[in-house]
Structure 1
Amino acid sequence: MNAMTSPLNATDGRRAARSHIHTPRLETPFHPRLAALSETSDWYSWAGYKAPHTLFDEELEYFAIRSTSALFDISPMVKYRIAGPDAERYLNRLTLRDVRKLGINRVHYTAWCDDHGHVLDDGTLFRLGENTFRLCCQERHLPWLLDSAFGFSVDIHEETEEIAGLALQGPTSCSTLLAAGFSGVERLKPFDIASVPHETGTVTISRTGFTGDLGYEIFVPRALALSLWDRLWQAGQPHGIRAIGYAALNTARIEAGFIVANTDFITAEGALRADRVRMPDEVGLDWLVDADKPSFNGRKAILEARRNQTLKHILVGLEIEGNIPAEHALVYHGKKREAGLVTAAIWSPTAKRNIAIATLDRPYGVKFTDDLWVEIYALRELRYQKMMKRARIVPRPFVKLARRTTTPPGSF
């Protein structure tokens, strides 16, 4: 047997042949600090980046959000810089809300659809100047954004790798920023933006977040990321600052009633089946649609669906009896007819309620709102125990905190 046909070399050859599909996860600019703090080595992939699911304890990380302040790395969030003379007109054509109403140094939550009115993604739009915007979202859309820019004088550039981001959330988040020397942040109202100096550059601070709590999001050039982390970390020690992973953030966002693309709904580009796509009204985003705008992607289809009452789904909040989370449980009407699916569920530590977000097939959730049940399978000593628990539709958010909108925030 020669070297060319030995079993060892054949195995190496097979490995080499498929090595092109092994893409290592990228590390965010804050990864050195997160890795040093990690006690669990519990990492997951977020948009190709290595991100913490937990760092030390999911429950304690959650209570950092609600009791002190929590630092979460949002660098993998996809970020586009959109600028040029037609930037406002372009974004107004692209998204559901009226961008003309968005002032400079303000943010608004929005979504965008394809021509059939199906949601492509949701996210936040930052107006950094008269003709300069930053669009932050879950999925990558650069080819679609570029195609949509035909006929507009606008420049679109993905800056995900260039701009690092942190979410600082919780009742002591403002106190931490003030202690770090970022004076004036106490005057920021919800969805306000401020640009403040940091070392040789500038950081952008917005009063936004994904927790339903007092909080801020901070964007900084990649080269200044670690010095920003260290500045916040040192200033936050007297205020109980903790680094957190996604598990804790997810609990807080469910309490706040916020939805996640490709978790609570499938994006139009991600759907493999035609019946999985959703219109804004079917995922609780009907309030984003500015029907007075003359033209935007999907406008005709969305308004026709409303007029003809052809909407097929509805997203609702549920309160479920008992204390076992109903994650991915089927929803039934009268214990017999399948009515929908739970997309996210937790036992809420703050509300002390068993809560869930669910997508229902109309007319359930619209005409039939009573006699709803969820089918839960609880693992008990290597056996699943089937439970049928009563559920009722309740408004979101499940947890509403006054400090989220109070200006200036209280000193905690």
Structure 2
Amino acid sequence: MPEPTPFHERTAALCKSYRWKEWAGYHAVSFYDVCHSTEYMAFRHSAGLLDVTPLFKYDVRGKDAAAFLSRIMARNVHKIKPNQVSYSCWTDGEGKILDDGTVMHLDEDFYRVTAAAPTYDWLARHVRGAAVTVEDVTAKICALAVQGPQSKNILKAVSDADIDALKFFRATAGKIDGVPVTITRTGYTGDLGYEIWTKNEHALKLYDAVYGGGRDYGIRPAGLDALDIARIEAGFILAEIDYFCAKDCLIESRKSSPYEIGLGWTVQLERGPFIGQAALAREKEEGSRWSLVGLEMDWEELESLCERYNLPPQLGSGASRAGLPIYSGGEQVGKVTSSTFSPILKKYIALASLRSEYAELGTEVQLEYTVEYERHTITARVVKTPFFDPERKKK
């Protein structure tokens, strides 16, 4: 049975739709009002307020903390500066990805790891007597995401931290209405945004301060349905949708390496030993069988197909996590993993896993599409990701 997050008293009161999902054992709002559209528009035009407490969180402390994390992460944690946040992934000994998340360097010999899947056992298993402690703080720390072009103005209005000086993927300590918080310039929407972390006992006071202070800037509570569209536009992958955690895979073909899911840029090979290093070095030299790509559907072709049935395109208003076969020359060469109509781009876009020889920009492939229970194919073109990448995100 899912549990309420520390913000539940506020989110439940605002959730007029009564539509909820289960996220990592917690209740999470799907959308607050009659649909998610206004929440998505808040992400792109004002600001959306999202409860991200269900993320798994682990505090790693001790003089060997950086060395320990560097040994199990694909990224060299020694290079993460104080108050810097770094995106990383970790793999098994065969270089197959177990999970992805962030590493925050919050203080001397103190790091916080966030993850999509339970990771404590993996971390604790590799301590091996090092001068380091690993604590699961998932149930102790809550978090809010403020995402959108007005997010900076909102944080400046409610926080005593120097938000103007807070750069992309950096962290700072501060207070919001007297509540001690850690603010990171991070998020999952691909837009200007921040995440605010504090202890559970401060949750309601924090929510009231941020939501109340953001009203003049058009802040809206936002749920997971709007987030799913935004993260696809940003080209962000989702565990168990765009890839599977290797430890949970029953067959080898479901496992992926960082290079195969667009995370090769997080792998830093030229350093001391780390788990999966040899396999990843070999794959980088030999090449990967699969590649994660962005696809853009030929809308005119789709409309023409549907007109034959006297129907408009049947795509739905939200993101789809349904896998769709991809063909080239009648042969299946991949699959769509996530797709959505992008309201801001006015295009139907998708993330897909393609055989690497078909992953070059501009390559045309065929997506399976069903109309009135009859299967057809629609042309799609490999395009650069992120699909949406506003300058304000990093400025």
TM-score by length of 1: 0.88
Matched, 1:400 2:378: no
Judge conservation of contact 1:317–1:394 (CA < 8 Å) in 2.
yes
Q: Counterpart of 2:306?
A: none
Please report the RMSD computed on the Cα atoms of aligned residues, expressed in angstroms. Answer: 1.6
CA distance in structure 1 between the aligned counterparts of 2:261 and 2:55, rounded to whole angstroms: 21
Match of residue 319 from structure 1 = 296
CA distance in 2, matches of 1:261, 1:208: 18
Aligned counterparts of 1:181 and 1:314: Cα–Cα separation in 2: 42
Q: Which residue of 1 aligns with 2:345?
A: 351
CA distance in structure 2 between the aligned counterparts of 1:387 and 1:188, rounded to whole angstroms: 49
Identity %: 36
Partner Cα distance (2:177, 2:298) in 1: 53
**5+ residue gaps in structure 2?**
303-312
Counterpart contact for 1:262–1:270, Cα < 8 Å: no
CA contact (8 A) 1:211 1:249 kept: yes
CA displacement at 1:272 relative to structure 2: 1.5
1:340 maps to which of 320, 334, 345: 334
**Distance in 1 between the 2:47 and 2:263 partners?**
29
How far apart in 1 are the matches of 2:341 and 2:383?
Answer: 15
CA drift of 1:149 comes to 1.1
In structure 2, the residue matched to 1:246 is 224
> Which residue of structure 1 aligns with residue 250 of structure 2?
272
Residue pair 2:69, 2:77 contacting (<8 A) in 1 also:
yes
Question: Residue 90 of structure 1: CA displacement?
Answer: 0.3
Residue 26 of structure 1 aligns with which residue?
3
- Which residue does the alignment assign to 2:324? 329
**Structure of higher CA gyration radius:** 1
Is 1:86–2:64 an aligned residue pair? yes
Residue of structure 2 in register with 1:36 after alignment: 13
The one-character-per-residue Cα deviations of 1:220-242 (angstroms, maximum 9, x if unpaired) are 10000100000011111111110
Aligned length: 376
Which stretches in structure 1 are left out of the alignment for 5+ residues?
1-23, 407-412
2:158·2:177 contact (CA, 8 Å) conserved in 1?
no
User: How far apart are the structure 1 equivalents of 2:386 and 2:221?
Assistant: 25
Q: 2:388 is paired with a residue of what secondary structure?
A: coil
- Please show how residues 91-110 of structure 1 align to structure 2 within 5 Å: 91-110=69-88
Report what 2:309 is aligned to: none
Question: Cα offset for 1:270?
Answer: 1.9
Summarize the alignment of residues 136-285 of structure 1 with structure 2, pairs less than 5 Å apart. Answer: 136-198=114-176, 201-285=179-263
- What SS does the aligned partner of 2:100 have? strand
In 2: Cα distance, 1:65 partner to 1:127 partner: 27
Residues 1:197 and 1:30: Cα distance change in structure 2 (over 3 Å): same
Aligned equivalents of 2:243, 2:359: Cα separation in 1: 16
For normalisation by structure 2, the TM-score amounts to 0.92
Matches of 1:384 and 1:141, distance apart in 2: 42
SS in 2 for 1:128: strand
In 1, are the aligned partners of 2:159 and 2:174 still within 8 Å (CA)? no
Distance 2:129 2:159 in 1: 45
Q: Secondary structure at the match of 2:125?
A: helix
- In structure 2, the CA distance between the partners of 1:147 and 1:183, relative to structure 1 (3 Å rule), is closer
Corresponding letter in the other structure for 2:324: A
Q: Which moved more, 1:28-37 or 1:346-355?
A: 346-355
In structure 1, the partner of 2:373 is: 384
CA contact (8 A) 1:206 1:217 kept: yes
CA distance in 1, matches of 2:295, 2:192: 24
Conserved? CA contact 2:158–2:176, under 8 Å = no
